[in-house]
């Protein structure tokens, strides 16, 4: 099986400053949907209390990947069983609005671009 894996070792520390939490949440939001943070309302105090942000001081990390076709044993090549790769992709699908959303609110351009780009 092909895979990508990252293991991070370090010390985590809960971020308690609301300003730092907001910076982190904005960065994550805008990384995946550029401009989204500016389109939505600011989090309420209750929402900020319910979200934890952890800062990690990285001591060590390792990454592994495995790509390409199977590496079967020679004795297995004579077995009449299909072997190969089945690539999977994570791509945006058609946007489905919240059923309670007013029909007068159009899909924003930045979200249309995300869907059209076919990448996350």
Q: What is the pLDDT of residues 28-70, one digit of tens each?
A: 999 989 999 999 999 999 999 999 999 999 999 999 999 999 9
User: Which residue, among 82, 21, 7, 88, has the nearest Cα to 54 in the 3D structure?
Assistant: 21
Q: Which of 43, 23, 44, 29 has its CA nearest to residue 111?
A: 29
Q: Tell me: the pLDDT tens digits for 66-113? A: 999 999 999 999 999 998 998 888 788 889 999 999 999 999 999 998
Record the pTM: 0.68
58 contacts 9 by C-beta, under 8 angstroms: yes
Nearest to 24 by CA among 120, 16, 111: 16
Residue with tokens 């992709």: 89
Instruction: List the domain boundaries for the chain.
Output: 3-117
| CATH homologous superfamily for the domain 3-117 | Electron Transport, Fmn-binding Protein; Chain A (2.30.110.10)
d(CA 75, CA 88): 28
């Amino acid at each position: 099986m092909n895979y990508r894996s990252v293991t991070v070792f370090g010390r985590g520390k809960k971020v308690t400053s609301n300003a730092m939490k907001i910076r982190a949440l904005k960065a994550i939001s805008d990384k995946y949907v550029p401009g989204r943070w500016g389109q939505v309302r600011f989090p309420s105090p209750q929402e900020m209390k319910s979200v934890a942000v952890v800062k990690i001081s990285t001591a060590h990390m390792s990454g592994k990947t495995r790509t390409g076709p199977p590496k079967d044993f020679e004795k297995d090549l004579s077995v009449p069983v299909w072997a190969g790769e089945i690539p999977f992709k994570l791509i945006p699908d058609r946007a489905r609005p919240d059923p309670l959303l007013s029909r007068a609110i159009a899909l924003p351009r930045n979200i249309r671009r995300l869907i059209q780009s076919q990448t996350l």
